[in-house]
Structure 1
Amino acid sequence: MTNKRDILLQTLDNQPADTSLAGFWHHYLADERQQVFGFRQKQSVAAVVAAQQRFYDDIHPDFTKIMSDNFFLLPSLLDVTFNSPADLRQIKPVAANHPWYQDQVAAIKAIVDHYQGDIGSFYNIFSPWYQLRLRFEILDQDPVKIYDFFAAEPALFGEVLNQLAQDLSELVTRLIREAGIVGIYLCVQQPQDSRITKALWQQYVVPSEKLLLNAAQAANDGNMLHICGFAGARNNLADYQDYPAKAINFASYVEGVSLAQGKKLFGNRAILGGFDNTEAGLYYRGTEAQIKAETKRLLQVNGRQGILLGADCSIPFDTPDARANWVSAAANSKQ
């Protein structure tokens, strides 16, 4: 009998499958600083591992995106002060034996092993650009600093992003080969500041993201690109058409682009999505009947082949996990 992991691989390959799969996820740590520094506390790491194992035990999801809570940011971005763009030179390569690598691989392997081969999983990775943006937003409480630094010293900024990509490539290669994930779920987002032109983004940001994706794809051809529209951020989806990824997840509600349109835009690659991820969305607010009806509508208008049902992005913390089973049941109902 074909298990859900095999069906996931068939869907990623854009092959017909007997079952339509659905996956939804939320974070486990509400404190953003804990998401960054938690890797230094074995108790916090163990608690998140246990929570993600319980998530599997409680609802037996079709597939998962394992959250990087406790390990949000590279350790080279911590314990340093960035007052000017020149301070970016303080960022040094992460040693291959750093606990941030070793403990993260061990934690994710414990989660994947808990699945006993039944389902496939991706692992959340923030791109180099996203890493720096979160660093400034979470630790400095300054959402503008990344744009100030980039606009002032774009070449230095690009060098730093490439260094971060090398370190992240080490991580994702080990995660795929040692922890057993199908691939990574790489979070990217275009600059949300008019000073950063498309040309600047393409010259200094894109190379680091492609470097990282190429490393992941070399380890296993099963990685997903997440073009993040969290909190209404807009992206030009066409700018990502040449990114090397097996599947694409984009914010269909934010961008106003259907799954079928996205599939065509990305060369018929597998697509994940369909539901709004916000508290205003049907997945959060709707009844079981409404969510099941929307599931059937999504599959009717977008087709099934190469389609994974999910949301634009992470769902709110307090969303009942069992709602994912409503989607799965409706997707595979014969009625």
Structure 2
Amino acid sequence: MTNKRELVLKAFKGEKVERVPVGFWYHFAEEDELLNGFQNPDIFAKNVSGHKHFVQEVQPDFVKIMSDGFFSYPNPLITDQVRSIKDLAAIESLGDEHPWFDQQVALVKEVRATFTEDIVAVYNIFAPLTHLKWQISNKVAFGDELVAGFLKEDPQTFQHVLKVIAKDLATLVKKIITEAGADGIYYSAQTIQVPGFSSQDYKEYISESDLIVLEAANRAHGQNILHICGYKGASNDVTIFKDYPVQVVNWAVGPEGLSLKEGKRLFGGKTVLGGFENTEEGLLYTGSKEDIQAKARELVAENGQQGIIIGADCTIPSDIDNRRIAWVREALAE
């Protein structure tokens, strides 16, 4: 019988597997804590204990280690008072030895120490654009109008700022993989959520910052899962990301109007992750055991057993009954 580590790594590579792996996750900190865990031992401990309970109760095939508390990028120049991209023109790197890196390395090590079996662990990394917009708004899932204005104001300076953030994230990624023992990263990217923002603008001024981070993970021999984030109704042109150097791709199947089968074609046969809606209105959260298991089997029947991992569009609600995750894996194990 293939162990979970071997099973998941085979699935990442699109190889034949004995059963399709399952991957779901949720936050362990409250929303107002997500940006405030750096130098906060209470939020740090809450995140570690949340992972420990999750692993013990769910016994997952693999774990996405949540970066709860570290959503903010602590560059002193980027504050919620910034209203012009020119205010950030002099931005500098945090430097390789910043404690923001060290605390996340410690987080990954402590979470992995709670594992009861040898399983794959990837660490959540947000795109430079996401860090910038959350930092200037001081709120998760906000800041799009501000960054859209910054891009229009001075595209070259905007691109420069993202590259500085990206190089720091590349340092973080290298440390997470080589020092903390993570198997790779779960890279969350999202386009600017304002009318009129073009895909060409993303490719020309933003994609380079994504690639800096992803290529750092590849150089460290990590596994890359690309998450095209549809959180709170966000919509993305997923074709922007079709040639990114990743092994696995995850997106919001329903909201983006792109099935797993269609996505596999779009992304050149790469392994796809998803299938279930992640909201409180979705089947995983509200449905019966019979309906959830029927959906899981249907997804495998439609897509085959190679190059697929069953999961959700995005992070699922934190108060979900963990038995619902077990129902999905049970159906696929049959």
Q: TM-score, normalised by structure 1?
A: 0.94
Q: Aligned partners of 2:258, 2:78: CA distance in 1, in Å?
A: 41
Q: Which residue of 2 aligns with 1:181?
A: 182
1:245 alignment partner AA? V
Q: Give the conservation status (yes or no) of the 8 Å contact 2:185–2:222.
A: no
Q: Aligned partners of 1:167, 1:79: CA distance in 2, in Å?
A: 14
Q: Which residue of 2 aligns with 1:30?
A: 30
Q: Give the conservation status (yes or no) of the 8 Å contact 1:26–1:315.
A: yes
Instruction: Give the CA deviation at 1:117.
Output: 4.9
Q: Which residue of 1 aligns with 2:192?
A: 191
Q: Aligned partners of 2:288, 2:137: CA distance in 1, in Å?
A: 35
Q: Give the conservation status (yes or no) of the 8 Å contact 1:151–1:196.
A: no
Q: Aligned partners of 1:256, 1:157: CA distance in 2, in Å?
A: 31
Q: Which residue of 2 aligns with 1:266?
A: 267
Q: Which moved more, 1:95-104 or 1:323-332?
A: 95-104
Instruction: Give the CA deviation at 1:143.
Output: 4.3
SS class of match (1:36): coil
Q: Which residue of 1 aligns with 2:136?
A: 136
Q: Which residue of 2 aligns with 1:11?
A: 11
Q: Aligned partners of 1:87, 1:133: CA distance in 2, in Å?
A: 14
Instruction: Give the CA deviation at 1:148.
Output: 1.3
Q: Give the conservation status (yes or no) of the 8 Å contact 1:154–1:200.
A: no
Q: Could you report, residue by residue, the CA deviation over 1:74-116 in whole angstroms, capped at 9, with x for unpaired residues?
A: 1116774313221123532112221111111011111123225
Instruction: Give the CA deviation at 1:20.
Output: 1.5
Q: Aligned partners of 1:325, 1:280: CA distance in 2, in Å?
A: 19
Q: Which residue of 1 aligns with 2:324?
A: 323
Q: Give the conservation status (yes or no) of the 8 Å contact 2:29–2:46.
A: no
Q: Which moved more, 1:110-119 or 1:2-11?
A: 110-119
Q: Give the conservation status (yes or no) of the 8 Å contact 1:4–1:119.
A: yes
Instruction: Give the CA deviation at 1:69.
Output: 0.4
Aligned residues between the structures:
332
Q: Which residue of 1 aligns with 2:207?
A: 206
Q: Could you report, residue by residue, the CA deviation over 1:201-259 in whole angstroms, capped at 9, with x for unpaired residues?
A: 11110000011111111112411100111122222222211111111001111112111
Q: Which residue of 1 aligns with 2:235?
A: 234
Q: List alignment gaps of at least 5 residues for structure 1.
A: none
Instruction: Give the CA deviation at 1:47.
Output: 1.8
Q: Which moved more, 1:124-133 or 1:159-168?
A: 124-133
Q: Which residue of 1 aligns with 2:70?
A: 71
**Alpha-carbon spacing, 1:77–1:187, altered in 2? closer, same or farther (3 Å):** farther
Q: Which moved more, 1:237-246 or 1:112-121?
A: 112-121
SS class of match (1:130): helix
**Alpha-carbon spacing, 1:44–1:78, altered in 2? closer, same or farther (3 Å):** farther
Instruction: Give the CA deviation at 1:8.
Output: 0.5
SS class of match (1:75): coil
Q: Which residue of 1 aligns with 2:51?
A: 52
Q: Which residue of 2 aligns with 1:224?
A: 225
The answer to whether residue 94 in structure 2 is matched with residue 94 in structure 1 is yes
Q: Aligned partners of 1:108, 1:23: CA distance in 2, in Å?
A: 18
Q: Give the conservation status (yes or no) of the 8 Å contact 2:276–2:312.
A: yes
Instruction: Give the CA deviation at 1:282.
Output: 0.3
Q: Give the conservation status (yes or no) of the 8 Å contact 2:29–2:43.
A: no
Q: Give the conservation status (yes or no) of the 8 Å contact 2:77–2:88.
A: no
**Alpha-carbon spacing, 1:4–1:78, altered in 2? closer, same or farther (3 Å):** farther
Q: Which residue of 1 aligns with 2:149?
A: 148
1:5 alignment partner AA? R
2:53 alignment partner AA? R
Q: Aligned partners of 1:152, 1:89: CA distance in 2, in Å?
A: 12
Q: Give the conservation status (yes or no) of the 8 Å contact 2:133–2:143.
A: no
Instruction: Give the CA deviation at 1:328.
Output: 0.2
Question: Within 5 A, what are the aligned runs for 1:280-291?
Answer: 280-291=281-292
**Alpha-carbon spacing, 1:150–1:93, altered in 2? closer, same or farther (3 Å):** same
Q: Which moved more, 1:133-142 or 1:279-288?
A: 133-142
Q: Aligned partners of 1:323, 1:136: CA distance in 2, in Å?
A: 37
Instruction: Give the CA deviation at 1:31.
Output: 3.0
Q: Could you report, residue by residue, the CA deviation over 1:56-76 in whole angstroms, capped at 9, with x for unpaired residues?
A: 011211111111001112111
Q: List alignment gaps of at least 5 residues for structure 2.
A: none
Q: Which moved more, 1:8-17 or 1:23-32?
A: 23-32
Q: Aligned partners of 1:143, 1:208: CA distance in 2, in Å?
A: 17
Q: Which residue of 2 aligns with 1:300?
A: 301
SS class of match (1:37): coil
Q: Which residue of 2 aligns with 1:110?
A: 110
Q: Which moved more, 1:55-64 or 1:77-86?
A: 77-86
Instruction: Give the CA deviation at 1:127.
Output: 0.3
Q: Aligned partners of 1:151, 1:63: CA distance in 2, in Å?
A: 41
Q: Aligned partners of 2:226, 2:257: CA distance in 1, in Å?
A: 18
SS class of match (1:261): helix
Q: Aligned partners of 1:139, 1:323: CA distance in 2, in Å?
A: 30
1:261 alignment partner AA? E
Q: Give the conservation status (yes or no) of the 8 Å contact 1:5–1:117.
A: no
Instruction: Give the CA deviation at 1:49.
Output: 0.7
Instruction: Give the CA deviation at 1:295.
Output: 0.6
SS class of match (1:38): coil
